[in-house]
Amino acid sequence: MRRFILLESGPLGLACSRPGLPPVDRCHAWLTTLEAAGAVIVIPAITDYEVRRELIRLLATAKLRNLDGFCIRFPYLEINRSALDRAAEFWAMVRRSGQPTAGPSDLDADAILAGQAATLGQPGDLVTVATTNARHLARFPGIDARDWTTIV
């Protein structure tokens, strides 16, 4: 059994920031602790996109270099057909239930992230999304989403 921790944009963006700030230092220590415990920390492509586009907009070159480093340090999870198929099912389901996680014409990165989480690993593996907004991701059945600060 493997333990996968997928980083959502909140913790990944925080990790890209300059050390020396208490929340950033806590995030870096958390990542190191998870690695030492044998967890597989994963950078989903949709999360990389969300963080990268904002850093490019802000011209935050140092943070972009840090993001590139994380994409080398940790496994990078490309978006594949089965993840997109599952994301489309999630997207339709939350809309039918009246609890969407994005606007009606939005791409809905949360649904794509949930699709990536739902299709990662093998039976028996533990897949958790580390986030700052577990409420949105909890709308997708079978997705274990937790505030990153509570994952040990």
Identify the pLDDT of residue 93. 93
Give the pLDDT mean for 6-13: 97
* pLDDT tens per residue across span 48-67: 999 999 999 999 999 999 99
Cα angle 143-147-152, degrees, rounded to a multiple of 5: 95
pLDDT tens, residue by residue, 94-121? 999 988 788 777 779 999 999 999 999 9
Task: Please report the pLDDT score of residue 104 as a whole number.
Answer: 77
pLDDT of residue 36: 96
pLDDT on residue 99:
84
| Cα distances (angstroms) measured from residue 120 to each of 6, 54, 60, 63, 127 | 10, 26, 31, 27, 7
SS3 73: helix
Whole-model pTM: value is 0.94
